[in-house]
Amino acid sequence: MFLHGHRIEYLYEYEVWPPMQSFTDVVDITDYVELKRRALEVYAKGSQRYLRPDALLALNRYRGFWTDTRGYDGYAEVFNAVPAWALRKEPPV
């Protein structure tokens, strides 16, 4: 798979809800939690279904605890890397 002339090896699935049962990557977002909270509040106001920022961030807090982000006192996002060829019907030759 190519995008703007660059070969794409992996696509990353993003955790929302329900929580992922397995994941390949963990990113510490502790320094960006307030920015994310504000962005979620803006998004929630414009959506037809109210999404509670505190509930969404609770999942990030849970991930921060269980992945030992900042000594169990941080926030984390998790992702799952999927080979780009998995979107095709057959793997590349």
CA separation for the pair 70, 64 (Å, rounded): 8
pTM assigned to the model: 0.78
Kindly state whether residue 13 falls inside one of the protein's structural domains.
yes
Asked whether residue 93 is domain-assigned, the answer is no
| The total number of structural domains that make up the chain | 1
CA angle 25, 28, 67 (to 5 degrees): 65
Task: Answer yes or no: is 92 within a domain.
Answer: no
Helix axes 33-46, 53-66, angle to 10 degrees: 150
Q: What is the pLDDT of residues 21-71, one digit of tens each?
A: 999 999 999 999 999 999 988 887 777 666 678 888 999 999 999 998 888
The encoded tokens of residue 2 equal 């190519």
- The domain of 70 spans 2-87
Question: Which residue do the tokens 């509040």 mark?
Answer: 41
Q: Which H or E run contains 6?
A: strand 6-7
